[in-house]
Amino acid sequence: MELLNQVTQFVISGLATGSIYALIGLSFAIIFNSTGIINFAQGEFVMLGGVLTIFSLNVLQLPLAAAIVAAVAVTTVIGILFERLAIRPLKNATPLALIIITIGASILIRGVVMLLWGKDTQALPAFSGTDPITVAGATLLPQHLWIFGVTVMVIVGCRLFFNHTISGKAMRACSFNRRAANLVGISVGRMVLFSFVISAAVGSLAGVIIAPLTMTSYDVGVMLGLKGFCAAIMGGMGSGLGTVLGGLILGTLESLGAGLVSSGYKDAIAFFILLLILFIRPQGLFKKGETERV
């Protein structure tokens, strides 16, 4: 019984962490799908979400809801600027060059945030209190429910957007074949910009909802970005649901690994499984093998 309770706790903790990875992974996949590049500044969008919310809350004295909207909006604008100033001007650059540029951008954003707000870790108050909730012998915080809720909303929203709107379908078309999309009259440039907008918004939203739990500082984006990237890889860098499952699996494995095996090898266990998946199913866990990307 004791062990069962423990395992329930590990799984719930893991799912909570996993949802965060899933959200970040999703924002990786969105940009990858329309541009073919992996945006390594994604973690920085997450960090900006948290840091800007705290700034709006403490310095600008906005109420929490307004602070969140402001933070997501500002991060989205930064995402747009990033695409306009760093990605678009390089018309015929290879994806590799673009990836290097995103790494440069991530270092720049991190540096600017460090200079503006210092190196201290800051905490955001929880959205609805810190009284733990008991579920099947395990406990979780109200903030975890926020994380689950927002993750589900974002997934549903993405699914509806990509499958049932003209813009969403156009973006998917760009991901399948850029030239063909262009030929049928889709403005690829606009779709790329659009993908940065959505990705920055989703990333920063993830940063906002986790800030009360994990706290935030100028350098939280590095590790979170890496974990989100793993989630996206596990999901095959494309399918929305696959990425989400990838994130949840990664989070649960970490938590079970730390709890049942050894906390020292927690990351090692998770990354070992990632490597295993890459060996056995290089196309990702939940993706049909025949999908070919050009």
Partner 1 sequence: MKKLVSTAFASLALFCLSTAALAAPPIKIGALFAVTGPASFLGEPERNTAQMVVDEINKAGGVKGRKLELITYDTGGDATKAVQLANKLVKNDQVVAIIGPSTTGDTMAVIPVVEKAQVPLISCSAGIKITDPVKKWVFKTAQNDTLAVARIYEQLKKEKKSKVAILTVSDSFGSSGREQLKAQARHFGIQIISDDTYGPKDTDMTPQLTKIKSAKPDAIICWGTNPGPAVIARNAKQLGLAIPLYMSHGVSSKKFIELAGDAAEGIRLPSGKVLVADLLPKSDKQKGSLLAFIKDYQNHYRAEGDHFGGHAWDAMMLLKGAIERGGDTPAGIRNALEATRNFAGIGGVFSYSAKDHAGLTKDAFTLVEVRKKDWVLVK
Secondary structure element (H or E) that encloses residue 266, with its range = helix 266-280
CA distance 284 to 171: 21
Other CB atoms within a 10 A radius of the CB of residue 117 amount to 17
Which of 139, 167, 182, 283 touches partner 1 by CB under 8 A?
Answer: 139
Structure tokens at 52: 């800007």
Residue with tokens 């190196």: 119
Which of 57, 72, 141, 171 touches partner 1 by CB under 8 A?
Answer: 141
Other CB atoms within a 10 A radius of the CB of residue 133 amount to 11
- Site track for partner 1 across 167-186, x = CB under 8 A: --------------------
Other CB atoms within a 10 A radius of the CB of residue 36 amount to 18
**CA 53, chain centre distance (Å):** 17
| Under rule CB under 8 A, residue 165 binds partner 1 | no
Q: List the alpha helices (DSSP H) in 118-260.
A: 142-164, 166-176, 178-183, 188-214, 220-234, 240-256
| Under rule CB under 8 A, residue 119 binds partner 1 | yes
CB of 134 to partner 1, least distance (A): 9
Report the SS3 class of residue 216. Answer: strand
The piece of 9-17, 28-36, 79-87, 234-242 that touches partner 1 (CB under 8 A) is: 9-17
Number of residues that bind partner 1 (CB under 8 A): 41
| Under rule CB under 8 A, residue 128 binds partner 1 | no
- Site track for partner 1 across 259-288, x = CB under 8 A: xx-xxx-xx---------------------
Binding site for partner 1 (CB under 8 A): 2, 6, 9-10, 13-14, 16-17, 20, 119-123, 125, 130, 132, 139-141, 210, 213-215, 217, 219-220, 222-224, 254-256, 258-260, 262-264, 266-267
